[in-house]
């Protein structure tokens, strides 16, 4: 496996504040790597160090085989960056900004620019100051995607985009990745990361707390099973090993299930007869909350987050109704 990004023990402080605390992380070439964390956890700082905009206090970072601080201008010909909070030159039009950024990187593909403008439905003749937040974001995305680069560093790239444009972006990013580009996608929108990313790193207070493929991360966690049965739920289920937080309400059963207890449970439920079954693998949200929430068991009170989960295509096919 070749690596596009390799960060070891990276520390960065701003005065008394430690933004990155011995952060270690690897992004493989060709991957879409999700970089998850809430606001202020150090995502943008990490990306800024990778861009040579900030100088690390200690630790090492390698980017496309080079030193992100020393070799910045040379490396930047091979990558594109979309900041989370895009601020454009008020007097330049969107089209001018796209050309300026693309040319300063070393050239952009004019046809590609035209196609992207059409795809994102952007008016490139408007001035920077008159664009809405979403349109500013589009300008930055087009400028980034219009150049044939090896690596895309995207810092919350869909903030401000409407769902339609988010979809356009998601599709584009997939096709970028299929052409062998590496993407580091920082986000706090879990469904986005879940839908796109091969691997995920979760950052908390300047440290990576989890990193791996989605399935690897899921193994560390439990699946939630909800079933409506034909008859009463067998009483012994509440004491069975591998099952947690079991709730039984007449013919309704709900529990958190360890992966190795799953087959036995399904067999037992099948004997009684199942009318409806829902099984949710832990979403990133739950992995995320497992690290950020104060409650130790994930998946119970999802509250406002469920809408994100409903949008995730991974859950769409899981609902089985008899």
- Tokens 């200690």 belong to 58
Binding of other proteins by 59 (CB under 8 A): no
Q: Does 112 bind other proteins (CB under 8 A)?
A: no
User: Binding to other proteins by residue 19, rule CB under 8 A?
Assistant: no
Q: What residues pair up with 33 in beta bridges, in sequence order?
A: 184, 199
CB 2 within 8 A of CB 28: yes
Asked if 87 touches other proteins (CB under 8 A), the answer is yes
Phi-psi region at 201: left, alpha or beta (left = phi > 0; alpha = psi -120 to 50): beta
Strand order in the sheet with 17-28: 17-28, 3-14, 58-63
Whole-number minimum distance, CB 133 to other proteins, in Å? 10
Please give the Cα distance from 104 to 143 (Å, whole number). Answer: 11
CB nearer other proteins, residue 104 or residue 320 = 104
- Is 126 near other proteins (CB under 8 A)? yes
With CB under 8 A as the contact rule, the residue among 3, 21, 109, 124 that binds other proteins is 124
Region of 48-56, 159-167, 219-227, 298-306 interacting with other proteins (CB under 8 A): 48-56
Residues 205, 33: Cα–Cα separation, whole Å: 19
Counting contacts by CB under 8 A, is residue 91 touching other proteins?
yes
For residue 290, the SS3 value is helix
Stretch that binds other proteins, among 47-55, 160-168, 282-290, 309-317 (CB under 8 A): 47-55
Q: Which of 21, 22, 72, 262 binds other proteins (CB under 8 A)?
A: 72
37 part of the interface to other proteins, by CB under 8 A: no
C-alpha to C-alpha distance for 214 and 212, rounded to whole angstroms:
6
Q: Segment near other proteins (CB under 8 A), from 96-104, 187-195, 199-207, 242-250?
A: 96-104
Q: Contact letters (x/-) for other proteins, 242-271, by CB under 8 A?
A: ------------------------------
Whole-number Å distance between alpha carbons of 15 and 150: 34
Which of 84-92, 215-223, 277-285, 291-299 is the region at the interface with other proteins (rule: CB under 8 A)? 84-92
How many residues belong to the site for other proteins (CB under 8 A)? Answer: 43
Nearest-angstrom CA–CA distance, 291 and 117: 39
**What three-state secondary structure class fits 137?**
helix
User: What is the spatial distance between Cα 201 and Cα 73, in angstroms, rounded to a whole number?
Assistant: 27
Q: Residue 137 corresponds to which tokens in the numbers above?
A: 């974001």
Q: Which of 48, 207, 221, 222 binds other proteins (CB under 8 A)?
A: 48
Nearest-10 Cα torsion for 183, 189, 191, 192: -30
Residue 81 binds to other proteins (criterion: CB under 8 A):
yes
Provide the binding-site residues for other proteins, judged by CB under 8 A.
48, 51-55, 72-74, 76-77, 79-81, 83, 85-93, 95-96, 98-101, 103-106, 123-127, 129-130, 140, 153
């Amino acid at each position: 496996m070749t690596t596009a990004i390799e960060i070891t023990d990276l520390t960065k402080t701003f005065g008394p504040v430690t933004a990155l605390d011995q952060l270690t992380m690897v992004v493989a070439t060709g991957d879409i790597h999700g970089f998850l964390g809430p606001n202020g956890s150090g995502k943008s700082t990490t990306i800024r160090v990778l861009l040579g905009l900030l100088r690390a206090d200690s630790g090492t970072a390698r980017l496309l085989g080079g030193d992100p601080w020393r070799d910045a201008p040379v490396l930047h010909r091979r990558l594109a960056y979309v900041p989370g909070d895009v601020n454009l030159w008020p007097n330049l039009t969107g089209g001018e900004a796209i050309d300026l950024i693309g040319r300063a990187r070393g050239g952009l593909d004019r046809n590609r620019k035209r196609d992207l403008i059409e795809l994102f439905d952007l008016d490139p003749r408007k001035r920077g100051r008159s664009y809405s937040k979403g349109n500013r974001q589009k300008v930055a995305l087009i400028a980034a995607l219009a150049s044939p680069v090896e690596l895309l560093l995207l810092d919350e790239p869909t903030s401000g985009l409407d769902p339609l444009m988010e979809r356009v972006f998601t599709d584009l990013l997939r096709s970028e990745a299929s052409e062998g580009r590496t993407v580091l996608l920082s986000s706090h929108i879990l469904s986005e990361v879940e839908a796109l990313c091969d691997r995920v790193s979760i950052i908390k207070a300047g440290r990576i707390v989890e990193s791996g493929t989605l399935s690897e991360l899921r193994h560390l966690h439990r699946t939630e099973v909800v079933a409506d049965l034909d008859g009463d739920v067998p009483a012994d289920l509440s004491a069975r090993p591998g099952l947690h937080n079991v709730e039984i309400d007449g013919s309704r059963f709900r529990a958190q299930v360890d992966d190795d207890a799953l087959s036995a449970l399904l067999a037992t439920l099948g004997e009684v007869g199942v009318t409806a079954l829902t099984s949710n693998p832990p979403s990133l949200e739950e992995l995320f909350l497992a690290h950020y929430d104060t409650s130790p068991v994930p998946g119970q009170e999802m509250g406002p987050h469920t809408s994100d989960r409903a949008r995730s295509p991974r859950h769409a096919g899981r609902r089985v109704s008899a």
